[in-house]
Amino acid sequence: MRVGVLTGGGDCPGLNAVIRAVVRKGIEANGWEVVGFRSGWRGPMTGDSRPLGLDDVEEILTRGGTILGSSRTNPYKEEGGVDKIKATLADQGIDALIAIGGEDTLGVAKKLTDDGVGVVGVPKTIDNDLAATDYTFGFDTAVHIATEAIDRLRTTAESHYRAIVVEVMGRHAGWIALHSGLAGGANVILVPERPFSVDQVVEWVERRFERMYAPIIVVAEGALPEGGEEILTSGEKDAFGHVRLGGVGTWLADEIAKRTGKESRAVVLGHVQRGGTPTAYDRVLATRFGLHAVDAVQDGDFGVMVALRGTDIVRVKLAEATAELKTVPQERYEEAEVFFG
């Protein structure tokens, strides 16, 4: 059997651990040939691939990013994109694909399955916003990075008695903001699921200043002020129709400074959250996902995604996995509000 593997969408820590698991089990347990397609869905569209042997994955467990590269290519937005993928798979003798990615990559995987291509999905996103799995790999690492940044920023904030706004990733779901904010003892946490009142934020900030401490505000990039619109860095959209976000942290820091008369600074963590060595948790979860994806392909169970439910790895339909995003529920946010101000 000859199986292809690709990584699509934004990179994140743990991708290489999945690739390693697929290659090792595919070759050693099943006798497969494994082919890696470069640059996400662009690889099978253009035929850009490389063989993956045991030596190729020997030292990649601890590496961030992906040895196959990634992109936000959408074959359904490219003229003849799907036909090109089918032609590549036929030409290279590929019997099945393992696609590692988030909602967009797996959305393509679902459509390709409907169009007759054998695909198994592996969930990847630092945003942890895929509803069919309890956790995605990459999330734990991103939260650790953001929490460490908050810890470091707190010391300089207290030294200068200034407010610091920390902008983290999270377009539609505020899981990184919520978890890193709670772990870092933030005084305000703002998520996309709940529009925020600038007046209320200022009240919490002033309460912190009155106690002679410097406030830390954690805000997800997709968070919105009440009655406001997304803060955009540009109007540019990617192949899946997403506008690049960013800037709410700087905007909010300026508002806090104007309304309180106190010095305020913004720090945008950006792609730092996606880089570097994955945590032990993410390495283990990614490895388990890869092993179970191999089993699904071996069973001929296509059109599914491997998912974490409790402590077990299960299979769910790609249609279920991509039907909706997993957002922060109201009760989880209300728990955190106890610590605001």
Q: Select which of 91, 95, 115, 127 is catalytic.
A: 127
Asked if the model's pLDDT at residue 67 lies above 70, the reply is yes
The per-residue DSSP string of 213-256 comes to: ---EEEEETT--BTT----EEEEEE-TTSPEEE--HHHHHHHHH
Q: Which of 82, 80, 3, 11 is nearest to 41 (CA)?
A: 82
Q: Is 170 annotated as a binding residue?
A: yes
160 is an annotated ligand-binding site residue:
no
- Quick one: 255 exposed, middle or buried, by C-beta within 10 A (0-12, 13-18, 19+)? middle
- Specify the range with the lowest mean pLDDT, choosing from 17-21, 102-106, 188-192, 215-219: 102-106
140 flagged as catalytic:
no
DSSP H helix total and E strand total for the chain: 11, 13
Is the pLDDT reported for residue 8 higher than 60?
yes
Does the pLDDT of residue 235 top 70, yes or no?
no
User: Looking at residues 221-236, what average pLDDT do you find?
Assistant: 74
Express each pLDDT in 120-166 by its tens digit: 999 999 999 998 999 999 999 999 999 999 999 999 988 888 999 99
Question: Which one-letter DSSP state was computed for residue 279?
Answer: P
Would you say 335 is a known binding-site residue? no
Catalogue all structural domains in the chain, each as residue range(s) with its CATH number: 2-126+278-322 (3.40.50.450), 139-275 (3.40.50.460)
* DSSP 8-state secondary structure symbol assigned to residue 9: S
Give the tokens for residue 113. Answer: 């399955």
Q: pLDDT tens for residues 258-283?
A: 999 999 999 999 999 999 999 999 99
Please indicate if the annotation marks 69 as binding a ligand.
no
d(CA 184, CA 84): 48
Per-residue pLDDT tens for 108-120? 999 999 999 999 9
What percent of the chain is helix, strand and coil (3-state, nearest 5)?
40, 20, 35
Joined tokens for residue 183: 């772990």
pLDDT at site 247 = 86
| CA pair distance 30, 178, nearest whole angstrom | 42
Residues 6+ apart with CB under 8 A from 293: 18, 21, 22, 98, 120, 121, 122, 306
The CA distance from 250 to 245, in Å, is 12
